[in-house]
Structures are given as C-alpha cells and as structure tokens.
Amino acid sequence: MSTSQDDHSIPVIRVRGARQHNLQGIDVDLPRGQLVVVTGVSGSGKSSLAFDTLFAEGQRKYFATLSLGSRKRFPILPRPDVDSISGLPPTLSLSQHRGHLSLRNTLGTTTEIDDFLRQLYARAGVVHCPHCGKVVSSQTSEQIVNRVLQFPERTRLMLLAPVWDRVSGANLEELFDKLVADGFVRARVNGELYDLNDAVDISPADEHTVEIVVDRLIMKEGIQSRLQESINTTLRQGDGECIVTTQQSGEEWVDHFFNERFACAECGISFPTVHPATFNFNSPQGACQECGGLGSIVLSPKTGSPESSANRIVDSNPCPKCKGERLNPLARKVIFEGKRFSELQRFSLDTLLDFFEHSLIDNTATADIKTTAESTSCFVPDSVGSLAAEKVIPEVKSRLHFLREVGLGYLSLSRQATTLSGGEYQRARLASTLGTGVTGACFVLDEPTSGLHARDTGRLLNVLRQLQNRGNSLIVIEHDLQTMREADYLVEIGPGAGTQGGQLVAAGSRETFVTRDTLTGKYLQRTHLETAPTSDSKDKPSSAGQLFVKGIACHNIHQLDVEIPLGQFVCFTGVSGSGKSSLLIDSIVPAIKRFLRNEPVELKLQGAEQIERVVQVDQRPLGQSPLSTPATYTGLWDIVRKLFTRTREARLRGFKSKRFSYLSAEGRCETCRGRGVEKIEMQSLTDLWVTCPTCGGKRFNAQTLSVRFYGKSVADILQMKISEAAQHFDKLSDMRMILQTLQDVGLGYLTLGQSALTLSGGESQRVKLATELSKQQIPRTLFVLDEPSSGLHPADLEQLIVLLRKLVEQGHSVWVIEHQPQIIAAADWLIEMGPGAGEGGGKVVAAGSPVELSREGGTATGELLSDWFG
Ligand code: ADP
Ligand code: ADP
Ligand code: ZN
Ligand code: ZN
C-alpha cells in the first residue's frame, strides 16, 4: 500500500517491506523533522513498527559505527525483519520501560540534575564551623606552621599528603612507582605505614586510602624554616591539604588535619575539601556510613520468590544517623545559599526552580575574575565558586524548566525512580533530553500522555514541538485524541490486533486523516460523545451503600474525609500530582485490606464490612524476567502441564508434571535456563535480549519437546496466540475459562509464552484483570485499577468499559484512577482531587455524576467533560 506522500521536497524516513512480528510487509514514508503519531488498536503492531523496526535499526546502525574494540563486547544485532529503511537519523527511544532500577535511582540521578548540583556544592558550597558558627574560610601555610609550632616540644612529627580519591589495588603499584620517582620514601595505606622501596604486600583487590608521607621531624628549637618548607611541599602534594601526625614519647600517633581552603579562622579546625563525589550517596565518599546511602534501614525482609520480592515494598525505617538524607556528616554540613544539598533534594521541582531563579550567586557574575578552577595555587574559593555557579545554575534551571513543562513540577529530586509511574518516568527522561540540546535525531516515544490530565497535555505537546524545532524527528505511539489532532502526520496500523492487524490502514496529514473512514478517522471526527452520558438518576449513590473514610493524611493530603459509593463504577480524577494515588492506592485501599485481615486500621472506616475482598490490578510487570508469561501468571500452565503428564508418551517415559515446566532443570533448555532468550548487559543502555541459539526460543530441551498433546508440543502451545489456543482447546473447560477471559479483556493477540518483559503496562494490567476474573467469583469484591486506559485505542476502551460495567452489574465495586475522558464519562460517580498538584492539591474539589460535574464546571475535570458532552 502506498502513502499519500506527494510532496517530494519533504525529506522522509522510507520504510519498505516491514515484517517484524505481525507486520505484513508495510511500506510507509514518515516525514522527517515532524511530529508523527502512530496509532491503532492495541496489538495492531505500532510498537513492532516504531520500536522493533525503526528504533532497532537505528540502534543496529549505531553499533555498526563503533570501533572494532568496543564492538567485540556486543553481538551483531539481528536486523529487524524489513526490506529496507533509508533516511533514518540517529535514533533514540524514550519508552516507559524502566529497565532495572534500584533504590539508588532517584529523579535527581535519572535526570542528571544531581550531577550538576554536586559540582555546585563542591565548588560553591560553604561549611560553618560547628564551634563558633563562622563560615569556614581559607588559611595560609604560615598560619598552619604557627599552629604546628604550638605543639609541645620534643613531639615527633610526620607530614602526610592525603590522596582522597580512593585508589584501587590495580592502580596502587602505578602510584607507588610514581611516588618513588618523585623522591618519596614512605606511604601510609589504610592506616599502615609502608616503605615505598620495599616490595609491599598489600592485598590487591581492595580499595585503599593512600596518604603520602612527606617528612619526619622532631620538634626542637629552630626548626621553623625547615617546617615551613616541608609543609609547603606537603600542601602542594596534597592539593592544599595536609595531615600532621604527632607522637609524644610512649603514646600513640595522633592525626591533625589542615586545609588551606576549609578552616575556621577562629578555632583553627580544618575540614576536608569537598568533591562532587562527597554529595553522591551512591559513592563510598558520599554515602552515610550507617545506611550505605540508602537513607533507610530495611527491616526484616521476608523471604519470597525473586519475582514477588522484586515487586514487594519492603518495610524500612529512616536511618537514625542521616535521618534519611543519605549523605555523610561532612556533606550534610555544606550549604549553598543557606540550603543543604539534601534540602534541595526534598523541594518540589517548582520550588527548586524558584530557588535558583532567586539565588544571588547567579546574578553576581564575576566576569573580571579569570582564575581557572584547576590552578589551585591561586585558589580563591568565592570567585571560583561563583564561576562554577554561573556555569552550573543555567544547566540546572533549563532542566527544571523542561521538567515543569512536562507537568512534573510537583515531584522532588529525592523521589525514588521506582515509585514513578511509567508515564512520569518517560516524561522525566524527555525533559532531560531536551535539557541536553540534542539535535538532528529521531525520537521514538510510547504514549507520553499516559498519566497526564488533559489539562496538561497542551504543555507536553509544547515540549515535543520544542524538540522538533531543534531539527529532531518525533515518532510517537499515542491514542490520545488531543495529541492526534496536533500531529503533523498520522499513521494508523490495523485494522485489528495480532494476525488481524499489521497492515497500514492509512497514513497522511492531519487534514486528510479526519476525512478517512478508518477507526481513528472516525474518532477524530467526533467532537463530542455520541452516546448519551449516564442519566441524572445515577446522581444518588445506589442502595449498595457507601464507604466513609475519615482522617486521611498522606503525602500532600492533610486530614481529609471522603465518602465513596460502593457497588458502583467510581472514577478518581484530577490533574497529575493532585493526590489520586496517595488517596486511593496509598491510603484507603491498604486500610480496607487491613480491615479485612482484622488488623488495626489507622483511618476511620465506616461501611467497609460491605466489602468481601479487594483485588488491586496495577500496571507493574507480571515479573522481572522472561520466565513470567501470560501462561504462567494466569495459572494456565499448571493445567497444561497436568494434561501433558496424562499423555501416553509421558507415561511411557515417566515424565512428571515438573518436566513440562521451563523452570525445572529436567525440562528446560540448559543454555538459556528456560528463558528462551539470553541477556546481554549493555553499559549505560537498557539490557538487550537475544533469542537463545540452542532452543531457538523454545525454552525446553529436545526430550520434553518430543511429547505432544492434541498434536502440539509444549513449545508449540507457548507460541500460540491466546485466540488460537481458545479455539484449539475449546473442549477443555478449565483452559477455556482462562483463555476466554483473556480474550474478553482484549488480549487475544498475545502469545501464551510472550515474555513479561515485552508486555506494556496496560497489557500486564489486563492479564492481571483476566486472571482475577477467571477465578472463582467472590461476591461484593472491590476492584481497584490504576489508569486502565493506558495502551488502549478508543475502540479498545469501549470493550473495557463493557467489562467494568459487567462487574458492577454483578454487584462488585469498581474504583478507577483515570484521565481518559471516555472512561470518566462512563463512570457512575466521580471524585475529583485538586485543585493543583503537590501541595497545591490534596483536596476533593468535586464529587458527583459526570453530568453534574460537567454542569458545575469550574474544575479541570468539569471543563473536560463539558467539552465532551458538547
Ligand atoms: P501495539 O504496539 O500496536 O500494541 P505490538 O507491535 O506490540 O502492538 O504487537 C503486535 C503483534 O506482535 C502482537 O500480536 C504481539 O503479540 C506481537 N509481538 C509483540 N512483541 C513481540 C515479541 N517480542 N515477540 C513475538 N511477538 C511479539
Ligand atoms: P496523582 O496520583 O494524582 O498523580 P500522587 O498521589 O501520585 O498524585 O501525588 C500527590 C503528591 O504526593 C505529589 O506531590 C507527589 O510528589 C507526592 N508523592 C506521591 N508519592 C510519593 C512518594 N512515594 N513519596 C513521596 N511523595 C510522594
Ligand atoms: Zn544514613
Ligand atoms: Zn534455550
């Protein structure tokens, strides 16, 4: 199929014969330097085109340009299944997949703003003396000599030049050689004194703190001139720092620390120089010793399978030493413009931007000072500090500005990356990319509006436009109508999912697209909802009752009381950061769960006895490894394994159920240990997975594969689409039940053995929902869903809404956090949080039926709905 790219003057990315996954030989020309939106129902092949074809080819081309040396560490990347791609600029992906984040990743580290702040604090920070409170300043070597001369007579002295950066065992020998060449005779390593000319026996693997011994003196009359010279040498070697070790007869050696730059003029106390690493809680120089830089002490982690523990929130207490600041005592003393490093970490980004806009140093430009930071001999802290600030602050401000533009101003730098939603994480990376000023690249994004209230979409689009104006091309997978209406060019993949999709349904400019008779074209033509909204009769909560919750306090919510209808479809709305998750996911739902387990509840709950069970369906991955699949997660695989053991073949060979699990040593392929893929660790890039060369992705060994059931091996079944399996096994009621519900939630296009790592957040959520639905139904269940619209085309949403309504008809309660207008409009009752984000939010600004909210107006959701209802 050809596209309507008539204007040959526009440079294009030309794709011919794309066949990756379900794509059926797509030919398409995507205009460069424009905002291209790729849309289509879920499973139609959008990601297969945007990520697995375009981005994969861009990445492959990038590796091909690497030098041979570094290339050896990487495999030859498989070519995506495509005849040709031309005109593709260097390609970067901003997906919602977070790779492997740990507690050590925060918003500050992820956006690299912390790197700049560390520089700022190391260069422009000041320390106050703990005794007299004065700002620590500089002292001359004469002052140091005078202080040393005050030691009692006949004190033995040794001068040490500290080497603060820790030296690894491998570099130690090199350093010693250099020291010997420079005429030194001794060094103190890890507190022990060594003669440099002796072959020293220091364990090579460890990290060492090395101090160079410059001289050994005994205090007596007339040593002043010699002392001055020695101290000068030591200070030069120690980069302005020096340790004087003293010993009086029969006693221990005692260290006295001196620093030319950081000393209290009043009481003479010196402090070590701070380096950027001093403010890095992920480095040994910066981390609080007590908690290792985590800021909290983990309490008795319960044992569990690796998969459940990866998702589990561990109980922890704030570290008693650093009080959660994560940094060592020195780093906690340094201040810039009256604030400590960790104070800035806890500000909201909006407040932080304000702080830097008004910070003085930025405005007192000291252009006349030409000192370079390196020339320590003429080190003037204040001028160097302000020079550093002058360079660093604009970088920090520009990044903060973009973070605010993408609607994340309510977050703080200290926020753990693992607690960000997929959408927040992607937008944070988008903002940092803008901050770095990349030009001429192609960006592939996955639903950047996810988690964003319609009110903020405009600003996000603005940011995308700025990226485009720098000469970048944007390829964005998106279902949001507002974004589609903004696009320069639209591509629709479809018409259905899986084998029913994979074709180019339409491609063209926004203007031509709305006239098309395609699924997306039709939605774009709609200016408002055609189906009448739920009537006013729903205005009053149904007879199923209500839940009253009193005294909610969490994050930005302070002492809030709410009433939530039960037995209804309730939608929690509000701009992002207003407190929807804090209210529902962090406060009310855990309280109900504790109530049901007869555990003490901090909140006042009234009406919770009307709930029998809580089922929470989130978007977190089914598991962290390719070992989790829809088949294992739903419990279907246990049924399949049992069926296989009953085959003649299995009974003859004595194969038990374990044999047919790719987790067991006897059944699985040993090369990939049942994963079907092998992981290649990439430095600074997300890990890469390639198909296992031994089993070709089948996960099992040859003996296991020789057993067949209904003509299929275990691997054949894993490779079946859910819709195919439903047909193939429709006589087996246990299996049919699970397979049918998976189809009902719109996942018929997934294969049973698709790795959890390749599922989107929305797909994972629907697998979880289907698993719950296929279980024995307990009446009066409360279903809680966080943004179920994610990853779904408006056409998919209709299906989801039907499913949610069905649950309500069966007497269950459905509570949903959502931004998508179609879903909000279909709810029985809305609870809107707001009015703003962060401390500007945290209140219920409106509650009522969608019709009521749209009539009342005045709130973000009200406005949105009145637009929809027309
Ligand atoms: P969309 O992005 O439109 O939701 P995808 O491109 O993710 O759709 O999927 C299109 C089809 O390709 C689906 O049938 C899906 O199951 C299949 N698919 C996606 N990723 C893989 C993969 N890694 N291996 C095999 N099949 C895949
Ligand atoms: P929403 O769900 O409406 O987007 P949230 O409840 O996630 O809003 O956030 C409300 C406020 O609480 C924000 O200021 C957010 O930064 C803060 N917040 C949310 N989760 C955490 C957390 N785990 N730690 C600290 N602050 C949080
Ligand atoms: Zn600590
Ligand atoms: Zn294998």
* CATH number where 358 lies: 1.20.1580.10
Report residue 299's pLDDT band, with 50, 70 and 90 as the boundaries: low
Task: Collect contacts of 582-586 with beta carbons under 8 A, ≥24 apart.
Answer: 582/554, 582/555, 582/556, 582/557, 582/842, 583/552, 583/554, 583/557, 583/833, 584/784, 584/815, 584/817, 585/616, 585/784, 585/786, 585/817, 586/554, 586/555
Fill in the DSSP letter of residue 314: P
Q: Is the predicted pLDDT of residue 21 greater than 80, yes or no? A: yes
- Do 132 and 145 reside in the same domain of the chain? yes
Q: Are residues 782 and 854 in the same domain?
A: yes
Q: What is the pLDDT of residues 221-274, one digit of tens each?
A: 667 777 888 888 888 877 888 888 888 888 888 888 888 888 887 877 888 888
From the CA of 325, the nearest ligand is 3
Q: Which pLDDT tens digit goes with each residue over 116-146?
A: 999 999 888 888 887 887 888 788 888 888 8
CB distance 21 to ligand 1 below 6 Å: yes
Q: Which domain holds residue 300?
A: 107-125+278-405
Let me know whether 338 and 446 are in one domain.
no
Q: Calculate the average pLDDT of the chain.
A: 84
Q: Whose CA is nearest to atom 14 of ligand 1?
A: 498
Residues 151 and 216 in one domain: yes
Residues 56 and 115 in one domain: no
Q: How far apart are CA 5 and CA 11, in angstroms?
A: 10
Q: Using one digit for the tens of pLDDT, what is the confidence trace for 576-585?
A: 889 999 999 9
Same domain, 352 and 465: no
* Residue 230: CATH number of its domain: 3.30.190.20
pLDDT at 368 over 80: no
**Cα(28)–Cα(56) distance, integer angstroms:** 17
pLDDT tens readout for residues 175-199: 777 777 776 777 777 777 777 776 5
- pTM for the predicted model, two decimal places: 0.77
Is residue 58 predicted with pLDDT exceeding 80? yes
Q: What are phi and psi of 304, to 5 degrees?
A: -170, 180
Q: Which of 48, 51, 50, 52 is nearest to 78 (CA)?
A: 52
**Residue 364 pLDDT more than 50?**
no
What's the pLDDT score for residue 376?
30
Query: Per the domain annotation, does 692 fall within a domain?
Result: no
CA of 556 from ligand 2 middle (Å) equals 7
Higher-pLDDT residue of 358 and 191 is: 358
844 to each of 546, 576, 820, how far by Cα in Å?
17, 14, 19
Residues 452, 397, single domain; the answer is no
Lowest mean pLDDT segment, chosen from 199-213, 273-287, 413-427, 601-615: 199-213
Q: Which of 43-57, 74-88, 503-517, 690-704 has the lowest mean pLDDT?
A: 74-88
Handedness of CA 218, 220, 223, 228 (dihedral sign): positive
The answer to whether position 238 is within a domain reads yes
Domain contains 732: no
Helix (H/G/I), strand (E/B), else coil: 87: coil
Which mutation among 47, 692, 760 tests ligand 1's pocket best, with the greatest number of atoms within 8 A of CB? 47
Question: Which of 222, 248, 273 marks a domain boundary?
Answer: 273
Residues 517 and 533 in one domain: no
Which ligand has the minimum distance to the alpha carbon of residue 420? 2
683 in any annotated domain? no
Tokens representing residue 714 in the block: 């275990």
Peptide linkage before 541 cis (omega within 30 of 0): no
Of all residues in the chain, the percent with pLDDT exceeding 70 is: 85
Measured CA to CA, the distance from residue 47 to residue 54 in angstroms comes to 9
Nearest atom in ligand 2 to 578's CA: 3
Q: Which two tokens stand for residue 576?
A: 């992002």
Give the burial class of 815: count Cβ atoms within 10 A of its Cβ; 0-12 exposed, 13-18 middle, 19 or more buried. Answer: buried
Among 480, 500, 525, the domain-final residue is 525
Domain end point (choices 361, 385, 405): 405
Q: In what order do the strands lie in the sheet with 35-39?
A: 91-94, 442-446, 473-477, 35-39, 489-494, 503-509
CA dihedral sign of residues 825, 826, 828, 832? negative
What is the per-residue pLDDT for 167? 65
Euclidean distance between CA atoms 236 and 240, whole angstroms: 6
Residue 769 lies in a domain: yes
List, as own/partner pairs, every contact residues 116-119 make where C-beta atoms lie below 8 angstroms and the sequence separation is at least 24, other chains included.
Answer: 116/392, 116/395, 116/396, 116/399, 117/279, 117/341, 117/344, 117/392, 117/396, 117/413, 118/276, 118/277, 118/278, 118/279, 118/280, 118/341, 119/276, 119/388, 119/392
SS (H, E, C) 120-189: HHHHHCEEECCCCCCECECCCHHHHHHHHHCCCCCCEEEEEEEEEEEEEHHHHHHHHHHHHHCCCCEEEE
In a domain, 203, yes or no: yes
Same domain, 482 and 569: no
Probe ligand 2: pick from 414, 556, 831, max atoms within 8 Å of CB?
Answer: 556
Residues with a CB atom less than 6 Å from ligand 2: 410-411, 415, 419, 555-556, 574, 576-582, 833, 838
Q: What is the dihedral of CA 620, 626, 628, 630, to 10 degrees?
A: 90
Check if 22 has its Cβ closer than 6 Å to any atom of ligand 1.
yes
Q: Does 607 lie in the same domain as 545?
A: yes
pLDDT of residue 375: 30
Q: What is the pLDDT of residue 536?
A: 46
Q: How far is the CA of 723 from the centre of ligand 4 (A)?
A: 26
In a domain, 729, yes or no: no
Query: Are 456 and 588 members of one domain?
Result: no
* Domain total in the chain: 4
Q: What is the mean pLDDT of residues 360-385?
A: 40
- Which atom of ligand 1 lies closest to the CA of 502? 10
Distance in angstroms (rounded) separating the CA atoms of residues 252 and 219: 16
373-391 pLDDT, tens digit each: 333 322 334 555 677 788 8
Rounded Cα distance between 17 and 864, Å, is 41
Percent with pLDDT over 90 in the chain? 44
- Residue nearest atom 21 of ligand 2, based on CA coordinates: 555
Which residue's CA lies nearest to atom 12 of ligand 2? 555
- 578 SS3 class: coil
| Cβ 348 under 6 angstroms from ligand 1 | no
Residue 358 lies in a domain: yes
Q: Which ligand is nearest to the CA of 840?
A: 2
Q: Which residue has the higher pLDDT, 297 or 116?
A: 116
Task: Note whether ipTM > 0.95 here.
Answer: no
Centroid of ligand 3 to alpha carbon of 285 (angstroms) = 13
| CATH code for position 46 | 3.40.50.300
Strands 546-554 and 813-817: unpaired
465, 548: one domain? no
Evaluate if residue 534 carries a pLDDT over 90.
no
